[in-house]
Structure 1
Amino acid sequence: MAPLQLPTVVDVNLVKNLSSSLADYDALVVVTTCLDETTEFLDNSVAKGLESFRQLHTDFNNDVTFFLNDNAPGKRIIYSPTGAVDRDHDDVRRFSDAALAGVKKALGVGSRSPVIACFGSKTYRQANLVTLLAALEATYVPLQIREDVPERRTKADKLGFFIGQKPADDGCGQKLIDYARAVELGRAVGRDIGGADPERMAPPRVAEYVQELFGKSSGIKVDIIKDKKEFEKDFPLFAAVNRASTCVDRHHGRLIFLEYKGEGEINTTALLVGKGITFDTGGLDIKAGGIMAGMSYDKCGAANVTGFFKVLSELKPKQFKAIGVLAVARNNCGEEGYTADEIITSRGGVRVRVGNTDAEGRMVMADPLCYIKELALKEVNPHLFTMATLTGHVIRAYGTNYTAALDNGPARHNETAHKLQAAGDEVGDPFEISTVRREDFAFIADQGEVADVLQCNNQGSSATARGHQFPAAFLARVSGLDKHGRNSEKPLRYTHLDIAGSGGELPHSPTGRPIPALCQMFIADRVF
């Protein structure tokens, strides 16, 4: 077994002048909306070279351009334009797309130490941050390559970052670099866990990774449950999904508990449950027709909750507390597998009739959600979240680039989803807002006398009306959060995040989303 290689983020140095002090770099990547914005900052020879290419290239403002220039660092220049940024359908992702393409091109032509020069648009307050995050993303190396192919362990030695235009209140400079590197480290953790194959990140090995990641000096407390009897006693729905894996030690599930508590008097608490299905066969309702491929990414919810805690361990925001539960299991099929028609009583005392074993995600999260609900009643200003690659329906509804956010009543009153959407729009991590309605609670109400709740119908979510909304109702009902709505004496804010579309898909690395938006919402103002 190869030794564990925890993620690192390439060093980033703030470059203050593009006309000098670039001897240690070997490429210049220009990210801008317009070449005219750059000329006063660039070496005269470089500026003239770019202007010559603009005259020759009819699609210069849309294509990545690479050319050689003796006065450029390493003689390499990559011009990566954003294209238009001011149309109704444009957003700050124009900068991330350009930066990602530009840095990939630089690395592809042999650069190891490129300088990224961002000429930010005043339209987007966080254009510089978004550009740097994309540049860092381009340097990520997957965990199994780092461990198994040592000569490919890194893609770059360092980056330079030049801010050519500073929008008001941008938080630029060294603080921006430190913040971006911390967020990227969190995303790298999310990619490591979410993207590694189902054996490399089988449940016990997820636990090993998390324990190694959060050592004694990290500021993160880690507790792990692996005892089958404890699952059955305190987390019975999780135990049901895990049952078919208990006879295979390397597949046996884990519940991993994380806690961060910042300095000072706590004024906000985030409580998060992440779905960590390391491989989803569908259980006895087995996935057929070739759709089982890619199901190792069904652990991206838990992976990204872990990544969020990694950002906390790096930045250590004050007066903030976070509690996380990673529900890590493998949805195997076998003689011990749980079945449709079983009736299981949840931690919250709700009798659940299983309708489809391929709806395991809501099963593994419901009892941990009940657990953090119990904790939330004792915490200061609590915000509860579930994060999961939960439904194909959310992809049918919104495509592959957007996280769906669904608030309960107290969260909707607090405009939690709207605040997340606004935070995500700033940093290129977009959300769509869905609503949980009475039809969703009616859908999950069991029609017989024996059970209270029907876990799922026997169709795929993408073939079911409101297929990504009713699972949020299930989680609220089975966890007991429906007893803490707007009309209760102790209302609790709860938001479900379905990242099936935004989390990424094979063969590409996971995205690490929505870590940037959560950081922008809860951490940024505490560390800048």
Structure 2
Amino acid sequence: MNFEFQKLSLSHAMTATVDALVVLWPSQVQPDSKAVEPVTRLVAQAIAHGDFDLKAGAVLSLYSQPGIATRHVVVVCSADNLPGQIRSAMQAAWGALKASKIKRLGVHVVGETSAQALQMALSSLADASYSYTTTLSKPKARSLKQVLVSSTHDSVELRQSVIHAQALVAGVELAKEWANRPANHATPTLLAETAKSIASGRAFKCEVLGPKEVAKLGMGAFMAVAQGSAEPLRFIVMRYNGASSSQAPVVLVGKGITFDTGGISIKPAAEMDEMKYDMGGAASVLGVFKALGELKPAINVIGLIPATENMPDGLAVKPGDVVTSMSGQTIEILNTDAEGRLVLCDALTYAERFKPKAVIDIATLTGACVIALGAVRTGLFSSDDTLAIQLQQAGETSGDTCWRMPLDDDYAEGLKSRFADVANVAGRAAGSVTAAKFLQRFTKSFTWAHLDIAGTAWRGGAAKGATGRPVGLLLQYLMSTAQAPAASKPDTQPQAADKTKPKARAASKD
């Protein structure tokens, strides 16, 4: 999907060569019933008769109106132009148009708008019009190919936001594609091939390690998860070098469990098909690298993806087994369904060699995080206040929000083991926190954050499918890091700082 920005008045936007026009109308703009321009006049009449409310998502559909060259015009209220309101508005607008085969769509923003609002409008439109087709015998491809976005205002920021939105959409849709694919169409080997294709540009490098190389590194935790699968593991190392080699990189570590049966601690059959989404963290790293290739920011980024299936055959790791991680720490595997933290801990140890500025791991890690935060906000855990605040701000700006959770040392008590340095699970209480505390043991040499996307990486039910989160959050963070000077330590603590005690009780399985 291609985006194009033009400075146009509403009257000129109606004469553009498009199949349909969406007009985003904020509630603070009161239409003039005596206006010469017909859309404004019709909106004023609809409001006067109670047929159009200036509330987020309210829709007024116009068809073949006199004085309007565009056949389909959908006016939709964006209220205060907040991210959630714009998302609702664009979903409603596309719902009114999707039955028509729209190839070229105009989007006009009435009144003053921000770069953030424009970006949200375009990414929301892409999300609403997205459809998965790869494994369908008779796929219905998306008809929408081009979007002309216009405003009476023009600035470098607005134009840059359209460029950013196009890269963001490309990254999000790649993440959706690979998370949506069935496990037999998204094996560790296929994931590695995709990483290589993304990293084919000048600023990119990609290395793929197989079982022998991983064994040589001593990644005993990662290998333990993979040993029950016929599909060979892959450890994917992606590099984007957009800045001087002297600049420390940000390392993104994505959990790449391409299918999770739970292993010997097998999951219930109901909805187990959704465990193809357990590589949502890996998919988000691929999506971010796709976007970086289009935006080319002055920053260095490393992507690490430990990719494997978690299967229950005769060679599979057993509850009670003790394995040695790459860090040298021994781990008692009490539950083989808590496998995500096992592959991540070795990848986190591997990240040390890059002397990173920060390391962020992304994982569909715990059902407990779904209980705590639902599908609205990603769980954020960090041992560094500055990084936590930067990620929270990136989430608010992008609309891909997160919420900081605690990391008190007391939560690690349940991970103690008589037979190893640490157990891979604690009790049911605060399961998302104890999982993060396990990972924290492997991050002492660098600034670290963990994003638990178990509740936000995909939707269940009738609308089942990957969301592409948190590509938006990560891309916003990286771009702001590329533009901003080194930050000083904050004077204030973010919400839900480490000393708070949550009351949620939930399962701790990955």
Which bracket does the TM-score occupy, shorter chain normalised?
A: 0.7 to 0.9
CA contact (8 A) 2:102 2:143 kept: no
Q: Return the offset for 1:154.
A: 2.9
Match of 1:504 in 2: 458
Question: Please, which of 443, 451, 454 is the counterpart of residue 423 of structure 2?
Answer: 454
Aligned counterpart in structure 1 of residue 158 of structure 2, from 169, 172, 188: 172
> Partners in 1 of 2:38 and 2:271 — Cα distance?
54
State the shift of 1:515 in Å: 1.8
Q: 2:198, 2:67 → 1: CA distance?
A: 43
The equivalent of 1:494 in structure 2 is 448
Match of 1:225 in 2: 209
Q: Which runs of 5+ in 2 are unaligned?
A: 485-510
Equivalent in 193, 216, 241 of residue 225 of structure 2: 241
Q: Does residue 58 of structure 2 align to residue 44 of structure 1?
A: no
- Alpha-carbon distance in 2 for matches of 1:20, 1:125: 21
**Corresponding residue of 1:190:** 175
Q: Does 1:60 align with 2:53?
A: yes
2:103 matched to 1:112? yes
- 1:440–1:115 Cα change, 3 Å: same
Instruction: Tell me, yes or no, if structure 1 residue 421 matches structure 2 residue 392.
Output: yes
1:471 aligns with 435
Shift of the 266–515 alpha-carbon distance from structure 1 to 2, 3 Å rule, reads farther
Residues 250 and 359, structure 2, Cα contact 8 Å, conserved in 1: yes
| 2:353 counterpart (370, 374, 395) | 374
1:448-495 CA-to-partner distances (Å, cap 9, x unmatched) read 1x31100014x6xxxx22111111111121x2x23x3xxxxxxx2100
* SS of match in other structure, 1:82: strand
Deviation at 1:58, TM superposition (A): 4.7
**2: CA distance between counterparts of 1:361 and 1:120?**
47
TM-score for both structures, normalised by structure 2 = 0.86
- Equivalent residue letter for 1:154: R
Aligned residue for 1:293, secondary structure, equals helix
Out of 365, 374, 384, the position equivalent to 2:344 is 365
Contact 2:180 2:465 in 1 (8 A): yes
3-state SS, counterpart of residue 322 of structure 1: strand
1-structure distance, mates of 2:151, 2:88: 17
Aligned to 1:356: 335
Asked if the contact 2:84–2:399 (Cα under 8 Å) also holds between the matched residues in 1, the reply is yes
Distance 1:416 1:171, change over 3 A: same
Instruction: Pick which of 392-401 and 11-20 moved more.
Output: 11-20
Structure 1, gaps ≥5 residues long? 1-8, 86-90, 485-491
Please give the alpha-carbon distance, in whole angstroms, between the structure 2 residues aligned to 1:59 and 1:171: 32
Distance (whole Å) between structure 2 residues aligned to residue 360 and residue 43 of structure 1: 65
**1:99 is aligned to 2:57:** no
Instruction: Name the SS of the counterpart of 1:171 in structure 2.
Output: helix
Query: In structure 2, how many angstroms separate the alpha carbons of the residues matched to 1:522 and 1:229?
Result: 30
Shift of 1:180: 1.0
Q: CA, structure 1 residues 39+263, in 2 after alignment: closer, same or farther (shift >3 Å)?
A: farther
Query: 2:501: which partner in 1?
Result: none
Tell me the amino acid that sits aligned with residue 72 of structure 2: R
Q: Note if 1:24 corresponds to 2:8.
A: no
Distance 1:70 1:264 in 2: 58
CA distance in 1, matches of 2:303, 2:36: 50
Equivalent residues of 2:3, 2:149 under 8 A apart: no
Letter in 2 for 1:126: Q
Question: Which residue number corresponds to residue 133 of structure 1?
Answer: 123
How far 1:149 moved relative to its partner?
Answer: 4.1
Aligned to 1:522: 478
How far apart in 1 are the matches of 2:6 and 2:352?
43
Separation in structure 2 between the aligned mates of residue 186 and residue 46 of structure 1, nearest angstrom: 35
Query: In the alignment, does 2:436 pair up with 1:436?
Result: no
Determine the structure 2 residue equivalent to 1:336.
315
Aligned-residue Cα RMSD (Å) equals 2.6
Contact conserved, 1:125 with 1:170, CA < 8 A, in 2?
no
Question: Cα offset for 1:521?
Answer: 2.1
Return the match for 2:151 from 163, 166, 181. Answer: 163
Moved more, 511-520 or 492-501: 511-520
SS of 2:250's equivalent?
A: strand
1:305 to partner: Cα distance:
0.9
Q: Check conservation: 2:199, 2:238, Cα contact below 8 A.
A: no
> Is 1:277–1:331's contact at 8 Å kept on the other side of the alignment?
yes
- Per-residue deviation, 1:233: 4.8
Distance in 2 of aligned mates of 1:345 and 1:75: 66
Distance in 1 between the 2:4 and 2:89 partners? 19
Matched to 2:378, the amino acid is T
Change in Cα spacing, 1:525 to 1:473, as seen in structure 2 (3 Å) is closer
The answer to whether residue 149 in structure 2 is matched with residue 154 in structure 1 is no
TM-score, length-scaled by structure 1: 0.84
Number of aligned residue pairs: 477
CA 1:243–1:290: 2 relative to 1, 3 Å: same
1:308 counterpart residue number: 288
> What is residue 185 of structure 2 aligned with on the other side?
200
| 1:84 CA displacement | 5.6
